[in-house]
Amino acid sequence: MYYIGIDLGTSAVKLLLMNQNGAIQKIVSKEYPVEYPKPGWSQQNPEEWYEKTVDGLNELLADYCKEEVAGISFGGQMHGLVILDKKDQVIRPAILWNDGRTTEETEYLNYKIGKEKLASHTGNIAFAGFTAPKLLWIRKHEPENFSRIDKIMLPKDYLSYRLTGIHSTDYSDASGTLLLDVKNKKWSNEMMEICGIRKEWMPVLYESHQVVGTLLPEVCQLLSLPSRCKVAAGAGDNAAAAIGTATVGEGQCNISLGTSGTIFISARQFVKDSNNALHAFAHADGNYHLLGCMLSAASCNKWWMEEILKTRDFVKEQQDIFELGKNQIFFLPYLMGERSPYNNPNARAVFFGMSMDTSREDMTQAVLEGVGFALRDSLEIAKRNGISIKCARICGGGAKSLLWRIIIANILNIKVESIRVEEGPAFGSAILAAVACKEYASVEEAANKLVMVTETLEPDAELSARYEEKYRKFKEIYPACKPVFEILKQ
CA-CA-CA-CA torsion sign (186, 191, 193, 196): negative
Query: E-assigned strands of 345-475?
Result: 350-352, 391-395, 415-419, 453-457
Catalytically annotated residue among 99, 157, 181, 237: 237
Query: Are 75 and 241 contacting, i.e. CB atoms less than 8 angstroms apart?
Result: yes
Question: Residue 222 contacts by C-beta under 8 Å, 6 or more apart in sequence?
Answer: 54
Count of Cβ atoms closer than 10 Å to residue 340 Cβ: 24
CA dist 92 to 84, 137, 161, Å? 8, 13, 17
- b/e per residue 134-154 (b: at least 16 CB within 10 A): bbbbbbeeeeeebebbbbbbb
Helix, strand, or coil here: 238? Answer: helix
Helix, strand, or coil here: 130? Answer: coil
Query: Are 55 and 72 contacting, i.e. CB atoms less than 8 angstroms apart?
Result: no
Q: Is 167 known to sit in a ligand binding site?
A: no
CA 402 to chain CA centroid, Å, is 22
Question: Residue 240 contacts by C-beta under 8 Å, 6 or more apart in sequence?
Answer: 5, 7, 74, 75, 76, 172, 208, 234, 284, 424, 425, 426, 428, 429, 432
Nearest Cα to Cα of residue 353 among 204, 474, 193, 172: 474
CA-based max dimension of the chain: 66
Q: Is 78 known to sit in a ligand binding site?
A: yes
> Based on the number of CB atoms within 10 Å of its own CB, is 388 exposed (0-12), middle (13-18) or buried (19 or more)?
exposed
237 belongs to the catalytic site: yes
CA dist 182 to 109, 110, 281, Å? 18, 18, 6
Binding residues: 78-79
Binding residues for substrate: 78-79
Cite the active site residues: 237
